[in-house]
Amino acid sequence: MHPYGFTNERYAWALVSGVGIFFLGGGVSLYHGISGLFATHELGDMTSSWIVLGASLLFEGGTMTYAFRHIKKSAEAAGVSVWDYLKRGADPTAVQVFMEDCAAVTGVAIAATCLTLSNVFNNPMIDSLGSISIGVLLTGVAMFLIRRNVAGLVGTRMEEGKEQEIVKLLADDPVIDSVEDVKSTSMGPEWARFKAEILIDGEEVTRRYISRNPQEFAQEVEKLKELKTPEDVEEWLVKKGGRIVSSLGNEVDRIELNIKTKRPEVKHIDLEM
C-alpha cells in the first residue's frame, strides 16, 4: 500500500503542527496584544510571570539545545550546512522542534524585556506590544514551517547539477543508447527519487554476456554445429535468448548500484525500457 514508505507522513504531521502554531500561537498572541492596547489595565504582581518565564526558558532552552545537536549531526552526515538542513533536511520533526523552541526562547526574551520596561515606566501598553511582537514571531515561524512541510509533501526536483550527474552516468554507460523523460523528486539532501526511460543496446548486452561466459560460448559454438532442423535452431534461440534477457536484469542492477554509489541520497530508482 505504501511503495515508497511513510516518509511523507512526517511532513503531514509537521504541517498540522505548523498550522496550530499559526492560529493558536501567533493568532492568540496577536489578539491578546491588540486587545491590551485598547483596554486599559493596571500592572499587578509580576512574581508569577517571572516564575513562568524562568521555567519556560529552562525547559525550552534545554530541548532547543538537544534539537540543535541532532540537526547539526544530521547536517554533517548529509554534507550540508545547518541552515540548508533547516530548509531542506529530511527530518521535519527535529526541525519542527528546534524552530518551535527557538521561537519560545526568543519569546521569553521579548516577554522579559517588555515586563521589565512596563514595570520601570509603569506603562502596561509595553506589555501589549510585547505580546504583538511574540505573535508576529510565532506567525513568521509558522509560515516558514508550513511552506517547508508543504514542499516536503509535494516534492521538489533534485538540484539540476545532481540530476544531470546521474543522467551523464547513464548516458556514458556502454549498454545504454539514450536517456529520455527524466524526472526526479527530492525531499531534502538525504532522500531523493529518480526516474528515466532508457534505450538499451541489445548487441552490447550480448557482447558483455559472452565476455563474462567464455566457456559457455565455446560450448554453444559446438552445439550450433549439431543443429539440423529449424525446430532445433528455434529451441536453441529460445534458451539462449532467455539467458541473455536474464543478464539484462543484472545490467540494470549494476546501473542502479552505480547511481546509488554516486548519489547515496537516491533511495528509489525507476528505469523504464
With a CB cutoff of 8 Å and minimum separation 6, the contacts of 181 are: 195, 196, 197, 272
On whether both 167 and 85 belong to a single domain, the answer is no
pLDDT digits (tens, 9 = 90+) for 218-259: 777 677 677 777 776 777 667 777 777 788 888 899 999 999
Of 113, 132, 154, which marks where a domain is finished?
A: 154
Residue of 80, 97, 270 whose CA lies nearest to 189: 80
How many domains in the chain? 2
On whether both 195 and 218 belong to a single domain, the answer is yes
Query: Looking at this protein, which amino acid is placed at residue 187?
Result: M
On whether both 121 and 199 belong to a single domain, the answer is no
On whether both 217 and 242 belong to a single domain, the answer is yes
On whether both 132 and 69 belong to a single domain, the answer is yes
- Residue 208 belongs to domain with CATH number: 3.30.70.1350
Q: Are strands 192-200 and 266-272 parallel, antiparallel or unpaired?
A: parallel
Of 122, 154, 186, which marks where a domain is finished?
A: 154
pLDDT computed for residue 9 by the predictor:
72
On whether both 128 and 194 belong to a single domain, the answer is no
User: Is residue 2 situated within a structural domain?
Assistant: no
- In Å, what is the CA distance from 261 to each residue of 19, 169, 266, 272? 38, 11, 9, 20
Q: In what order do the strands lie in the sheet with 176-186?
A: 176-186, 192-200, 266-272
Phi/psi region, residue 122 (left: phi>0; alpha: psi -120 to 50; beta: rest), is left
By the 10 Å C-beta count (0-12 exposed, 13-18 middle, 19+ buried), 239 is classed as exposed
Q: 184 has which bridge partners?
A: 194
Residue of 150, 149, 196 whose CA lies nearest to 173: 196
pLDDT computed for residue 7 by the predictor:
64
On whether both 99 and 179 belong to a single domain, the answer is no
pLDDT computed for residue 169 by the predictor:
93
On whether both 86 and 174 belong to a single domain, the answer is no
Task: Look up the pTM and report it.
Answer: 0.68
- Look up residue 11 and give its three cell numbers: 511532513
Host domain of residue 249: 160-272
80 backbone dihedrals φ, ψ, rounded to 5°: -130, 170
- In Å, what is the CA distance from 229 to each residue of 172, 224, 241? 42, 11, 18
User: Is residue 138 situated within a structural domain?
Assistant: yes
On whether both 149 and 172 belong to a single domain, the answer is no
- For the chain, residues with pLDDT lower than 70 are 1-8, 40-45, 189, 217, 221, 224, 232, 236-237
pLDDT computed for residue 2 by the predictor:
53
On whether both 83 and 137 belong to a single domain, the answer is yes
